[in-house]
Amino acid sequence: MQSTNDPCLSGIPKVLLVGAGVVGRAIADAHAVGRIPFYFADCSEDSLNQAARRLAESEIPVEQVRCPIDGMFMCSVGETKTVDPDQPLVVIESIIEQVDAKRKLFTQIQEHFGGDAVLCSNTSTLQIDEIAGKTLASPQRLCGMHFFMPVHARAAVEVVSGIRTDPEVIDAVVRHATRIGKRAIRCKDGPGFIVNRMLSPYLNQSLLLLCRGATEDQINRAALAFGMPMSPLELIDWIGAPTMYHAGKAFWSAFPNRIDPSPIIPALVKQKRLGRSGGAGLFDYADGQRSTTLSDAACQLVQRYRLETKDLTDGDVLMLLSIPMWIEANSLLEEGIADSMATVDLAMAGGLGFSGDMSWSGFFAEVGADCIDDAIRKWQSDFRSMRR
Which segments of the chain are extended strands (E)? 2-8, 15-18, 38-42, 62-66, 73-77, 90-93, 118-121, 142-146, 156-161, 183-188, 285-286, 289-290
CB 242 within 8 A of CB 22: no
The helix or strand, by DSSP H or E, that contains position 56, with its residue range, turns out to be helix 45-56
So what's the pLDDT on residue 6? 36
Task: With cut-offs at 50, 70 and 90, classify the pLDDT of residue 333.
Answer: very high
Beta strand 73-77 with 62-66 is antiparallel
The neighbour count for residue 36, using CB atoms within 10 Å, is: 17
Angle of helix 314-335 relative to helix 360-367, nearest 10 degrees, comes to 120
86 by DSSP, 3-state: which? coil
Q: Confidence class of residue 306 from pLDDT cuts 50, 70 and 90?
A: very high
Mind listing the pLDDT tens digit for each residue in 117-146? 999 999 998 999 999 998 899 999 999 999
Between 45-56 and 22-33, two packed helices, what is the crossing angle to 10 degrees? 30
In angstroms, what is the C-alpha Rg of the chain?
22
Which residues have a Cβ under 8 Å from the Cβ of 120 and sit 6 or more positions away?
A: 90, 91, 92, 93, 142, 143, 144, 145, 173
- pTM confidence score: 0.90
CATH class label, 2-188: alpha beta
CB-hemisphere CA count at 13 Å for 370? 0
Average pLDDT score over residue span 308-312: 88
Distance CA 200, CA 335 (A): 18
Give the SS3 label for residue 16.
strand
* Residue 199 pLDDT exceeds 70: yes
Residue 93's beta-bridge partner residues?
A: 18, 121
Does 9 have pLDDT greater than 70? no
| DSSP notation for 193-243 | TTHHHHHHHHHHHHHHHHHTT--HHHHHHHHHHHT-SS-HHHHHHHH-HHH
Question: What average pLDDT score do residues 192-200 get?
Answer: 96
Identify the pLDDT of residue 86: 59
Confidence band of 331 (pLDDT split at 50, 70, 90):
very high
For the chain, the structural domain boundaries read 2-188, 195-263+309-386
Query: For domain 195-263+309-386, which CATH number applies: 3.90.1150.10, 2.60.120.200, 1.10.1040.50, 1.10.150.20?
Result: 1.10.1040.50
Mean pLDDT of the chain, nearest integer:
92
> Cβ of 255: how many Cβ atoms within 10 Å?
18
**Per-residue pLDDT tens over the stretch 270-295:** 999 999 989 999 999 999 899 999 99
Q: What are the distances in angstroms from CA 169 to CA 15, 88, 179, 265, 316? A: 14, 10, 15, 36, 44
Residue 3 scores a pLDDT above 90: no
d(CA 345, CA 325): 12
Given a contact cutoff of 8 angstroms between Cβ atoms, the answer to whether 31 and 38 are in contact is yes
Higher pLDDT, 282 or 308: 282
Closest to 192 measured CA to CA, from 144, 227, 120, 154: 144
First-residue to last-residue Cα distance in the chain? 55
| Neighbour-count burial of 86, counting CB atoms closer than 10 A to its CB (0-12 exposed, 13-18 middle, 19+ buried) | exposed
- DSSP 8-state symbol, 53: H
- Could you tell me if 163 and 137 are in contact, meaning their C-beta atoms sit under 8 angstroms apart? no
What is the structure's pLDDT at 114? 86
Q: Which helix (H) or strand (E) holds 269?
A: helix 264-270
Residue 200: pLDDT band (50, 70, 90) is very high
Instruction: Confirm whether 2-188 and 195-263+309-386 share one CATH topology.
Output: no
pLDDT band at 149 (very low <50, low <70, confident <90, very high): confident
Best mean pLDDT range from 77-81, 131-135, 316-320: 316-320
Quick one: pLDDT band at residue 84, thresholds 50, 70, 90? low
> 308: pLDDT confidence band, cut at 50, 70 and 90?
confident
Q: Mean pLDDT across the stretch 24-37?
A: 94
**Residue 209 — pLDDT band, cuts 50, 70, 90?**
very high
5 pLDDT higher than 70 = no
Query: How much is the pLDDT for 77?
Result: 93
